[in-house]
Amino acid sequence: MAQVLIRNIDDDTLEAHRARAKARGQSLEQALRDLIEAAAPYSPAERLAVAERLQAQTPSGRRSDPVTLIREDRNR
């Protein structure tokens, strides 16, 4: 496994993370590891689920075909 050193963290920020970790019964290291893992890129399946969720929120109706739009733009 890799290791990371992070410099120049504000003291108040670090103390807030330390207090939050202690309240959860975790070490600061474990709490920060959990934060980094939670912020990691989505897996392909998760990205697809997000895309489908966003598409479901898009109003229905006629949609532009990206291939057609690119061709039209190139022809100009």
The total of structural domains in the chain comes to: 1
Identify whether the C-beta of residue 18 lies closer than 8 Å to the C-beta of residue 27: no
Distance between CA atoms of residues 50 and 40, nearest Å: 15
Question: Per the domain annotation, does 62 fall within a domain?
Answer: no
Question: Per the domain annotation, does 16 fall within a domain?
Answer: yes
**What pLDDT score was predicted for residue 7?**
95
**What pLDDT score was predicted for residue 73?**
93
Question: Per the domain annotation, does 67 fall within a domain?
Answer: no
Other beta carbons within 10 Å of 39: 7
Question: Per the domain annotation, does 50 fall within a domain?
Answer: yes
**What pLDDT score was predicted for residue 41?**
80
The DSSP symbol for 25 reads T
Instruction: Name the residue range of residue 49's domain.
Output: 1-56
- Condensed to tens digits (0 to 9), the pLDDT of residues 10-63 reads 999 999 999 999 999 999 999 999 999 988 888 889 888 988 898 889 888 777
Query: Please, what's the largest Cα pairwise distance for the chain?
Result: 62
Tell me if the pTM is above 0.85: no
CB-based contacts of 23: which residues, under 8 Å, 6+ apart? none
Question: Per the domain annotation, does 1 fall within a domain?
Answer: yes
